[in-house]
Amino acid sequence: MKNIVIIGGGTGTLTLLTGLRAFPTNNSVIVSTADDGGSTGILRRELGVMPPGDLRQCLLGLSYTDPVLRRLFAYRFDRGSLNGHTVGNIMLAALELVSGNSETALRECSKLLNVRGAVVPITKKPTLLSAMLENGRRIVGEHFIDEPKHNGTAKIRSISLSPSGPANPRALRLIKEADAIVFGPGDLFTSTLPNIIVDGVARAIRRGERSEDHRYGDREHEIALSERISEIQTRQSVSSRGESEGPKRMRSSCDRR
């Protein structure tokens, strides 16, 4: 059975995982730890837990449990003091607090949801995402990059993480053992690239390529991988809309040091 690794998170990845059920593959998801918006952001700030939102979505995408339990895990409160929170986010946060670590929380939720595959955060601790715009302005926080309150037409020149590592060893092992790696679907600057710029991840991804130059450092691997993804994005954009959108800002997005 082929090992498929998806690097991303969120609703797009949930949809992809649902589609992959039709194929005999072993699916794993590597998820960014920079999410800080909505229910996830509140739980992260107030409880100090790993951002649960994308982890929750990916667990649901790999779940083969009773439909009622799946709906419960995905249920979002729409009023009262829990307005905006999902049951799954609260459960992941509570399990992390009870067990003392996010890995145990994910393992227990995986049992509960009868997950086939693995959901792995790219780092073992939460990270903070920042973006430098071409006009020189620095935006701090994944939520503010994803839903800008600044001039949304300004292109992103670079992104960075704090801390920038270390990468979760389990995520690196999944990348090493992967027969295929899928980037996204999801926002490139807030879902996909925040995984790639974690120290050592780009090198691990390119390690299996015949064209890899072992003289490259982490920064060169990040830039080369970013350009490769940009080329794919450009071809998809031309195919679906008849024009290219955004590849230039993509190429420099990993130039973070």
Domain boundaries, the chain: 2-121
- Please state, rounded to an integer, the average pLDDT across all residues of the chain: 83
CA dist 237 to 105, 217, 246, Å?
38, 30, 9
Q: How far apart are CA 124 and CA 30, in angstroms?
A: 12
Helices 87-99 and 53-61 meet at what angle, rounded to 10? Answer: 110
Res. 219 pLDDT band, cuts 50 70 90: low
Q: Which helix (H) or strand (E) holds 111?
A: helix 102-112
What confidence score (pLDDT) does residue 248 get? 32
Q: Which helix (H) or strand (E) holds 45?
A: helix 38-47
Q: What is the pLDDT of residues 143-181, one digit of tens each?
A: 999 887 766 678 888 899 999 989 999 999 999 999 999
What confidence score (pLDDT) does residue 156 get? 87
Beta strands in 128-204 (DSSP E): 128-133, 138-140, 156-162, 180-183
Which residue type is seen at 29? Answer: V
